[in-house]
Amino acid sequence: MRSRVKVICRGIVQGIGFRPFVYQIAIKLGLTGFVRNQGDAGVLIVAEGLKKVLLKFVASLKFDKPYLAKYEDYQVTWSSFQDEFSIFEIQKSSKRKIGGVSYLPPDISICEKCLSDMKNRKDYRFKYPFTSCAICGPRYTTITKLPYDRPNTTMIDFPFCESCSKEYNDPLDRRHHAQTTCCIRCGPILSLHNKNGEKLELQNIFKEISKLISEGNIIVIKGIGGTHLACSVNNDETILKLRTRKGKRKYKPFAIISSSIIDVKKYAKINTSEEEIITSHRRPVVLLEKKEPFPLSKWIAPKLFNVGVMLPYSGIHSLILDEIKDPALILTSANPSEIPMYIDNDEILENAGELADYFLLHNRRIFQRADDSVVRYANDNPVLIRRSRGWVPEPVKLPFNLGKFSSLGVGPLLTSTGAIAKTNRCFPTQFIGNVDTLETLAFLEAAINHMTSLLDVNSYDSIGSDLHPNLLSTRLAEKYKKEYDAQLFRIQHHHAHAVALMLDNKVPKKEEIISIIADGVGYGSDGKIWGGEIFHNSYTEFKRIGHLEEQPMIGGDRATFYPIRMVVGILSKRFSENELSDLLLNNYPNSLPGGENEIQVVLSQLNKGINVFNTTSTGRILAASSALLKSCYERTYEGEPAIILEALARKGRLGKIGFDLPERNSGIINTTSMLYQAYEHLISNEQPADIALAIHLYLANQFADSAIDYALSNSIKKIGFTGGVAYNDIITRQIAKKVNAANLEFLQHKSLPCGDGGISSGQAIIAALKAKD
């Protein structure tokens, strides 16, 4: 009996070799019909043949799909045989839409077959750095609009040569309908330029780059979705020069790239889970524990126990690394601090001349920049520090459906993203950075607009922004409010964190949880600076049931850069002004850049209450502890004192030091007593590492005990941990241990960053649900 079947596939089904896969199965089974890309990133399949054969076809589509394909919806409709087709074909893409939610895959790292082609002297793609196929290469960073066809990508500038055209049009070739495929005869080309912009004529550009790097030069490398600065991992002088040129990079760690796991193991420890993710098609930077002694320059990641490592995800990186003798290269974004990564050739040559000595460029446009994603393991689980290349534009699935509602979150101030919530998905943009300049604000707006276009969102019903009234992102939210006549909701920072955690763990819509939110700063509902919070919350409401003790920030924001100011404020509750003066002058004379004069200014500010603000920030407590233990007196990058404190605590001996536990007062966690006891241990010549570990465990236990007591008293089954401090393995592991021991479920991030990169998703969801209600 003959029949007809229509299959609608939604999800990641364009840009991953799906149509050739469908075609090959249909031809093998002797079916007729077609497969076609639709205008909203879905795929439509219609096939005719014997019913029993069609059943095999449908089963194969479902279970044998390409490894990158992901079905969000798989709809099969049967009807009577119509004898409409004589062959099975891949039809030209349609602008028509099939509805539902589909989306492109992210940029995909170069596959092993393409690497093999590049290294095969007999292949006409030998050493061609832009080699790709239907299952690898750029996607998100090259597409300009849907459907995903070559004319709708930046590859429109590169018409096929005869050989590439033949492969592209051959349904049995692995480059069939590979939109970024090309070769040396028809594709983008690399060129090396000096600081004056003059092109250098070279026989082997990769050998020359290796030579220049070995001589101590810094090289701009324009890659697939962004531009990097590269230099030696062993030349201290060059690395320090790079730090100076980048600005605000005195100690901030650099990522490094190696050609293989074999090379990685020369300088870092890597376990099976870490190896699995670093070699995946996403190819993120993964924070790995350094080997001791660390054989590379100490200036790559000063004072830290780990180092960010990635493997090559493009032919460009792979071919350069083939010529490098060292086990790795430094690879960091090509931009001054606080400015988005440069991606346009003219812009690179004009603005990056102060950063680099030479420029490796190519003539393919990057339509959307995407920084490297960064992953760290905490409590034995991978958590995203930065969600960008390799992930975006993949969504996070929601545990409920918003129906026809579309909602936008514009993010906070730091390490920001935007996010779009639609039906039962939330789509974060790529990493934007700190939205504190007009350049990053423009980048945020461009990223949101591009994602809006790809998702075919015509209007927003609701918009979520931060509660803080003076953020640039709030200005953007107000602009969108007017443009779309949408409802605008100002959302408390830590509630957005908590909701991002809930949707990341598929918490049902009506369920409530206990959220521990620990970070550096967030504008509180009372107008104060929050950052060490325990909430009883749902998706739309929260109750602040506990928090760290309020502590004075002497000098306001300056206390975040020089944490000894926090130490003074906290210990002032136990010491007189004269005692504090003696303590600082005798034990911490170099803790402030102004020396003794600034110490006296700090004490005067505290005494007179000038420019002193209270905060419950966990970040400030960890930073104060770091300064107290003389680990870090100056914050030169976000989270530095706390990160260095964790590195110190890892060397501590468990149980060597404990703190007396003061009674909790109305949910307030005492941090004055903790810091005072830490100081007493320090002047008693206890080991700083032991004290650092005790501080971590004290905070973790206090947070966990408060949350557990409330949860058990109120029949709440789930306790989660989020915020930037949730990257800390010691604190996360201890909270999880205590929550699990209480027979409660511990929630940890899976697909969204713990830090502020997840805020926009929380904002979008809260705004949508409040607007709907």
Active site residues: 19, 37
CB 519 within 8 A of CB 724: yes
Q: Are 484 and 460 in contact (CB under 8 A)?
A: yes
Q: Helix 18-29 vs helix 51-63: angle between axes, to the nearest 10 degrees?
A: 150
Tell how far CA 396 is from the center of its chain: 14
- Please name the residues in contact with 318: beta carbons below 8 A apart, sequence gap of 6 or more: 110, 115, 118, 129, 259, 312
Instruction: Report yes or no: 756 and 414 within 8 Å, Cβ to Cβ.
Output: yes
> Between 564-571 and 595-608, two packed helices, what is the crossing angle to 10 degrees?
40
The helix/strand/coil state of 201 is coil
Q: How far is CA 694 from CA 543, 632, 689, 729, in A?
A: 29, 18, 9, 14
Q: Which of 357, 372, 362, 319 is nearest to 213 (CA)?
A: 357
C-alpha atoms less than 13 angstroms from C-alpha of 10 in its C-beta half-sphere: 17
Query: Do residues 9 and 16 make contact, with C-beta atoms less than 8 angstroms apart?
Result: no
408 forms beta bridges with 420, 463
Q: How many CA atoms lie within 13 A of 535 on its CB side?
A: 32
Euclidean distance between CA atoms 517 and 502, whole angstroms: 12
The two three-digit tokens of residue 273, written as one number? 């889970």
**Preceding amide of 469 cis, omega within 30:** no
Instruction: Determine the Cα–Cα distance for residues 685 and 561; give it in Å rounded to an integer.
Output: 27
Whose tokens are 């020369």? That residue is 266
DSSP three-state, residue 354: helix
Helix pair 577-587, 595-608: axis angle to 10 deg = 160
Q: What tokens were used for 173?
A: 């070739």
Q: 3-class DSSP state for residue 450?
A: helix
> Residue 276 in 3-state DSSP?
helix
Calculate the CA 184 to chain-centre distance: 33
The 3 state secondary structure assigned to 648-681 is HHCCCCCCCCCCCCCCCECCEECCHHHHHHHHHH
- Count Cα neighbours of 459 within 13 Å in the Cβ-side half-sphere: 9
Is 302 exposed, middle or buried (CB count within 10 Å of its CB: 0-12, 13-18, 19+)? Answer: middle
CB contact at 8 A, 334 and 361: no
Check: CB of residue 521 under 8 Å from CB of residue 615.
yes
Neighbours of 452 (CB within 10 A): 22
For 742, counting Cβ atoms within 10 Å of its Cβ (0-12 exposed, 13-18 middle, 19+ buried), the class is middle
In 3D, which of 416, 441, 437 has the Cα closest to residue 428?
416
Rounded to whole angstroms, how far apart are CA atoms 109 and 100? 28
Q: Which two tokens stand for residue 627?
A: 């300064």
Q: Is the dihedral of CA 45, 49, 54, 57 positive or negative?
A: negative
Neighbours of 660 (CB within 10 A): 8
Q: What residues pair up with 36 in beta bridges, in sequence order?
A: 44
State how far the Cα of 744 lies from the Cα of 712, in Å rounded to an integer: 9
**Which amino acid is residue 276, in one-letter code?**
E
In angstroms and rounded to an integer, the radius of gyration of the C-alpha atoms of the chain is 28
